[in-house]
Amino acid sequence: MPDPINSTEAVGASQAEHEAEIARRDEEILRLRDLLITRDAELGQVRGQLKIIEDHSERMARLVARIPIPGLAWVASAILRVLQVSGR
């Protein structure tokens, strides 16, 4: 009676199972890579939007600093600071 562990059929089946597992893993790696690329693109877009908002806030702060009315400048500065903190 041949030993099933050492038979060519057992080795062949094992090889086929290994190849199927490698194929499944390759598919999963590609899926995860695509997700990572998508997330990276989304992150870049959000960073760009944040930079635009920060630039606008900076311009507003410079304009507020030029306002000759001390009380109004202080209120506007406080509002901008609150908006900057809540936006981050």
Average pLDDT of 26-31? 97
Which pair of structure tokens corresponds to residue 33?
Answer: 């890579």
Which pair of structure tokens corresponds to residue 6?
Answer: 């050492």
For the cut 70, the answer to whether the pLDDT of residue 9 exceeds it is: no
Give me the DSSP letters along 51-84. HHHHHHHHHHHHHHHH-S-HHHHHHHHHHHHHHH
Please tell me whether residue 7 adopts helix, strand or coil conformation: coil
Task: Taking the CA atoms of 21, 27, 28 and 33 in sequence, report the sign of the dihedral they define.
Answer: positive
pLDDT given for residue 17 in this prediction: 92
pLDDT band, very low/low/confident/very high, at 5 (cuts 50, 70, 90): low
Please tell me whether residue 88 adopts helix, strand or coil conformation: coil
Tens digits of residue pLDDT in 53-64: 889 888 888 887
pLDDT given for residue 51 in this prediction: 92
pLDDT given for residue 11 in this prediction: 59
For the cut 70, the answer to whether the pLDDT of residue 81 exceeds it is: yes
